[in-house]
Structure 1
């Protein structure tokens, strides 16, 4: 493939822009100029700009992180995370641009950040989370501009140690900044960004606290009635309960049932992929925490036979996120 290097730089670059992510590692090994271009942030942004990138689903499991392609149903295990042990089920992954950020939490004692760069295919350790907390209970999500917001959780086991603390992680600067504290402590909650605002939804009483990054002010919105759920923002706020799917009506301020799940799952994890929602969980009445995860691809509004399709993956997944690369 040396003949490619004889092309003018712009033509060479345009050819590389069209190389799928899965093939880029091979190209980088064969062509040194290709490695320099592909690992450049501007190259990544041009793939996004010209609609040449593709969306994948990142899956966190005990052995590491895999990148799943729903189109050809292939699954690639990324290089080993340099933490020296199995990943605790309390950890989370969040995607920011071309990076996968692992919030590595264990027994309320450690709160490390590990970042995988999909361009260079390398790991690096990030700044430590300000306060170690319950891995399963706190709110965390990425903002549109590429920062990670966290809030709530428990500093130690038990409701007596619920937190009001919130913080933002500037991924490119590798630094944490404490935010103003929430109005109320929240031990178990979910977080998501909606129209530039950071929403923290209490899993137990379903009250909402909303943070405006522009003003630095928290606002208590209202009490909602959906029980412990996993939320995504997709044509509105959708909640995945153990036995069904609901959508929130912001004007009527109430939930409406969309449909039941094909089978009862708990806990449910979900992420938006294109015009679908990828969701997974264990069978609700599972007798073992080691039971395999069940996966579905859900398409709201599709014909009944196409609305919720089972996916044959054999992984015990604890966190999911979508990435475009």
Structure 2
């Protein structure tokens, strides 16, 4: 098959490929089948993370001056910001009491799922492939059922899947549904899942250890868990009062509540308070959270400049306390965030 680089041992050639910038991948992939195969292999990106040379970014769908007009990409390594090409079906209804949007990063694709307000036929999907240096978004397969407002979604990044459940069947908030679906990013295909056991409203979703968690109204008595191995739902007692958002970090489900960070142990159906925030107001202004390099990244609403960013260092690394580390916002990153996803490649 020859060497990765003529005259160099393959282990040295691999070290060269590992250190390429993400923006160069689309030029490198066509060189030969071996290079393309390496860049397609998930182990390649795992090794970049292990060597601490991965590129870490936050992708945010933003409103600027009340209009949803861009996807901002915050490069954490370079502390810089740029905008991706416009999404073809961006709508003024986004995040303004109308359309609902969800961002996920799966198989090196940024995936946007928007509800039926953006399209007259089905809830729609748009994908942006960071590996190919694409100049535009491509449209994915439409959801089997129209969903509007409040549906939950979560990504199984290892499996390349996005799970969706619940929501409402029309725009009146009077017809909640128990429907659930899963989207295969690489195959661009939806599969229908069994219905949830109960109707929940105003959903949040998370995925960890083969399970899709669906949380409804924070004052509701229960939440549901879909086991991807048995393809069945289980109703559990709600242990996440006053929650703001959920993330999968350190191998477990974590809830960012109004007061602090909570860890959930599914096997024991038990919650553990990892740490508390300085004040209740601090938690109330949380807009989104994600994970890069095993650190939780939080975006907080800033009424003047859009949002502030913090990293939550776990107590295991800080001597038993939850440490909040703020970082400087780069110029050009203003506006209100509708939804966000983190990538670590």
Q: What TM-score, normalized to structure 1?
A: 0.81
**1:322 aligned to 2:336?**
no
* 2:39 paired residue among 35, 38, 43: 43
* Poorly superposed stretches of 4+, deviation over 4 Å: 8-14, 31-38, 84-87, 303-306
CA–CA distance in 2 between the matches of 1:14 and 1:255? Answer: 41
The structure-2 alpha-carbon separation of the partners of 1:23 and 1:314, relative to structure 1 and needing over 3 Å to count, comes to farther
**1:117 aligned to 2:117?**
no
CA–CA distance in 1 between the matches of 2:15 and 2:81? Answer: 27
1:248 touches 1:254 (CA, 8 Å); kept in 2?
yes
Deviation string 1:122-141 (CA, Å, 9 cap, x unpaired) is 32110111223234x21111
Deviation string 1:233-285 (CA, Å, 9 cap, x unpaired) is 224432223454334465473453721256354453111111321111325xx
Deviation string 1:5-43 (CA, Å, 9 cap, x unpaired) is 984696767533421214546xx3xx89549877x3541
Could you tell me which runs of 5 or more consecutive residues in structure 2 were left unpaired when the two chains were aligned: 63-67
CA–CA distance in 2 between the matches of 1:308 and 1:276? Answer: 11
Deviation at 1:84, TM superposition (A): 5.9
Match of 2:65 in 1: none
**1:307 aligned to 2:324?**
yes
Could you tell me which runs of 5 or more consecutive residues in structure 1 were left unpaired when the two chains were aligned: none
CA–CA distance in 1 between the matches of 2:69 and 2:31? Answer: 31
**1:63 aligned to 2:33?**
no
Following superposition of structure 1 onto structure 2, how do residues 1-325 of structure 1 map, counting pairs within 5 Å? 7=6, 15-24=16-25, 28=27, 34=31, 40=36, 42-45=38-41, 47-51=44-48, 53-61=54-62, 62-83=68-89, 85=91, 88-89=94-95, 90-105=100-115, 107=117, 111-122=123-134, 123-135=137-149, 137-143=150-156, 144-204=158-218, 205=220, 207-235=222-250, 236-248=252-264, 251=268, 253-254=270-271, 256=273, 258-260=275-277, 263-266=282-285, 268-282=287-301, 292-301=306-315, 302=318, 307-312=324-329, 313-325=333-345
**Which 10-residue stretch deviates more, 292-301 or 144-153?**
292-301
2:260 touches 2:273 (CA, 8 Å); kept in 1?
no
2:23 touches 2:131 (CA, 8 Å); kept in 1?
no
Q: What TM-score, normalized to structure 2?
A: 0.77
1:297 touches 1:311 (CA, 8 Å); kept in 2?
no
1:100 touches 1:116 (CA, 8 Å); kept in 2?
yes
2:292 touches 2:344 (CA, 8 Å); kept in 1?
no
The structure-2 alpha-carbon separation of the partners of 1:112 and 1:266, relative to structure 1 and needing over 3 Å to count, comes to same
- Count how many residue pairs are aligned between Structure 1 and Structure 2: 310
Aligned CA RMSD, in angstroms, stands at 3.3
